[in-house]
Amino acid sequence: MKTIRIGFLGLGTVGSGALAALTAEREAIARRVGAELLPVRAAVRDTERHRAVDTTDLELTTDTMAVATADDIDVVVEVIGGVGIAREAVIAALSAGKSVVTANKELIAKHGLELFALADKHHVDLAFEGSVGGGIPIIQPLGSGLTANRVKQVVGIINGTTNYILSAMTRSGQAFDDLLAEAQAKGYAESDPSADIDGHDAAYKLTILAMLAFDTAVSEEQVCREGISSITPADITLARNLGYRFKLLAVAKDRGEKLELRVSPCLVPETHPLANVNDVFNAIFVEAAPVGQVMFYGRGAGADPTGSAVAGDIITVARNLGRGGQRSYPLGFSGHRTVATVDEIESSYYVRMRVADRVGVLAELAGILGSHGVSIAQVLQTRITDDLTAGLAELVWITHDTTEANIRASLATMDGLDEVVDICNVFRCFGVDA
C-alpha cells in the first residue's frame, strides 16, 4: 500500500485534534483512502512542550519553512493561524508542489485568491473545510453537492463564543458583561474577546462562505459588522415576548444588482431552525434554487470538531494525490459582484425607545416611520412603572424590510422630538418577511 506523508505546521488545539483523528482511525482511513496516511513531522514553537496528543512517532522541529517544503512530505497541514508565517509557509508549500490543508479563516479570507491561483498553477489542492463551522461539512457541500444551485442567501451562526453568551443571556437573564466573564473562565472566550464579540471572526468566515456561494472575490473589509455587546437583558426579554431569539448572524445575500454582506446581532423568529441553535453549536442555513432551504448544524470550534474537518480534508487531498494530484473543485471566483454599503442594506428592524406616555405619541411616531417608507410589522407598548421614569412608556417596533438609510432617517427625525426620551437600541431582524 502506498504511503502519503503528512507534515504539520503548528500543533496547537486544531493540529492536535487532526493528528489524534488520523491516529485513532488509522486502519479504517487507510482502507478508505487506498493509501496509508503517515504524519512524519511537525513544526512547533517549542519542541519540548508537553502536548495533549502522542507525538512519539513524529519528528518535531522549530523550522516551519523546512517542513513546508520538505522533499519527503506530500501534504502540508497549516494550523498556525494568522497571516504572517502561516501565509509564507503555505505559499512555499504550494510553490513546492505540495497540497495544503488549512483551517485558517483569516488566511483564506484575506489571501484566498492569491493562494487558489497558486494551487491552480501548481496543480495541487488547497483545502479549507476547517476554516468555517468547525466540524460541520459546509465548504465541500457549497463547492460541490450544491453547486448546481443559484444561491439566494447564506445565513450562519458561525461564532461559538457569541452564541454561547447569547444562549446564556436568554436562559438566565444575566447581563452581557457577567456572561462574558463566565465564558472567559470556561475557556469559551479569549482574554481579549474582541475578535469574537465584535464579529471579526464571523466576518472572516462569512467572506469565505460568500466567495464560494456567489463565485466572486470579496474582502472581509466589505462586511458590515456589528458586535453583540450592546444587547441588554431588557432586549432579550422583549424579543422573547415578541417570539424572537437574539443570534449573531452572518448574512451573505444576493440582492440582484449587489451582494449584501453583514455580521450583526439579529432577532430570529423562534420557529426558524436557526433560533434553536444554542451554546457552542454553529449552523449554516442556505437558501438556493432549486434546492430550497438546507441547514448544516454541528460544533463550531474545538480540537475534536475542527480536527475532524482538517483530517477529512487530509483524506480528500490524499485521495486526489492517488489520482495525480488534481484539485477537488475549481476555485476561480470568476465573478466580480458589487457589495452593498451599509446604507443600502435591507432588513427588518427592532427599535426600542422610551417615550412620553401621552395621547397621540404612538400615532405621530408611526406616521414618521410611514413617511420614510418604513412599514410596521409588530408594536409593543408597555407602561414603565418604576418611580424614576413614571409617566413614560417603552415602545418596541418591529418593522418590515426597509433600508438601513430609511430606518436611520426615521430615527433621526424621532430623536428630535420632545416626546421621545431616548432611543435605547436598534437591531436587525431576520426572517420577518420570509
Positions marked active-site: 205
> Of the listed pieces 30-38, 235-243, 393-401, 422-430, which binds a second copy according to CB under 8 A?
30-38
Q: Which residues within the stretch 194-253 sit at the binding site for a second copy (CB under 8 A)?
A: 215
User: Site for a second copy (CB under 8 A): which residue of 56, 185, 187, 324?
Assistant: 324
Candidates 22-30, 188-196, 343-351, 394-402: pick the segment binding a second copy (CB under 8 A): 22-30
Q: Is 12 in the site for a second copy (CB under 8 A)?
A: no
Residue 128 Cβ vs a second copy, minimum distance, rounded to whole Å: 12
Q: Which H/E stretch holds residue 403?
A: strand 402-403
Q: Which stretch binds a second copy (CB under 8 A): 19-27, 92-100, 247-255, 341-349?
A: 19-27
Distance CA 308, CA 135 (A): 6
DSSP track, 79-114: -S-SSSHHHHHHHHHHHTT-EEEE--HHHHHHHHHH
Q: Which is nearer to a second copy, 144 or 341 (CB)?
A: 144
Judged by CB, which is closer to a second copy: 36, or 419?
36
Extract the C-alpha cell encoding 374: 418604513
Q: Which is nearer to a second copy, 40 or 234 (CB)?
A: 40
In DSSP terms, which residues pair with 110 in a beta bridge? none
Rank residues 193 and 305 by Cβ distance to a second copy and give the closer one: 305
Residue 54, interface with a second copy (CB under 8 A)? no
Contacting a second copy within 60-119 (CB under 8 A): none
Interface with a second copy, residue 290, by CB under 8 A: yes
User: 228: buried, middle or exposed (CB in 10 Å: 19+, 13-18, 0-12)?
Assistant: buried
* Alpha helices (H) along 279-396: 303-321, 361-371
Task: Give the shortest CB-79-to-a second copy separation in angstroms.
Answer: 15
- Residue from 56, 191, 334, 385 binding a second copy (CB under 8 A): 334
> How many helices (H) and strands (E) in the chain?
14, 18
Can residue 34 be called a binding residue for a second copy (CB under 8 A)? yes
User: Closest separation between CB of residue 323 and a second copy, Å?
Assistant: 5
Exposure string for 364-400, b = 16+ CB within 10 A, e = fewer: ebeebbeebebeebbeeeeebeeeeeeebbbbbbbbe
Residue from 326, 338, 371, 375 binding a second copy (CB under 8 A): 326
User: Applying CB under 8 A, which of residues 61, 69, 95, 149 lies at the interface with a second copy?
Assistant: 149
User: Kindly report the CA angle at 58 between 43 and 70, in degrees rounded to 5?
Assistant: 50
Does 336 engage in binding with a second copy (CB under 8 A)?
Answer: no
At closest approach, how far in Å is the CB of 140 from a second copy? 5
Q: Which cell goes with 241?
A: 415576548
From CA 251, how far away is CA 157, in angstroms rounded?
A: 9
| Helix runs in 349-403, H state only | 361-371
Residue 213 C-alpha cell reads as: 456561494
Asked if residue 295 binds a second copy (CB under 8 A), the reply is yes
- Number of residues lying near a second copy (CB under 8 A): 60
By the rule CB under 8 A, 170 interacts with a second copy: no
H/E element holding 31?
A: helix 26-33
For residues 254, 258, 264, 269, the Cα torsion angle rounded to the nearest 10 degrees is -40
Contact set with a second copy (CB under 8 A): 17, 20-22, 24-25, 28-29, 31-34, 129, 135-137, 140-141, 144-150, 215, 273, 276, 288-299, 303-305, 307-309, 311-316, 319, 323-324, 326, 329-330, 332, 334
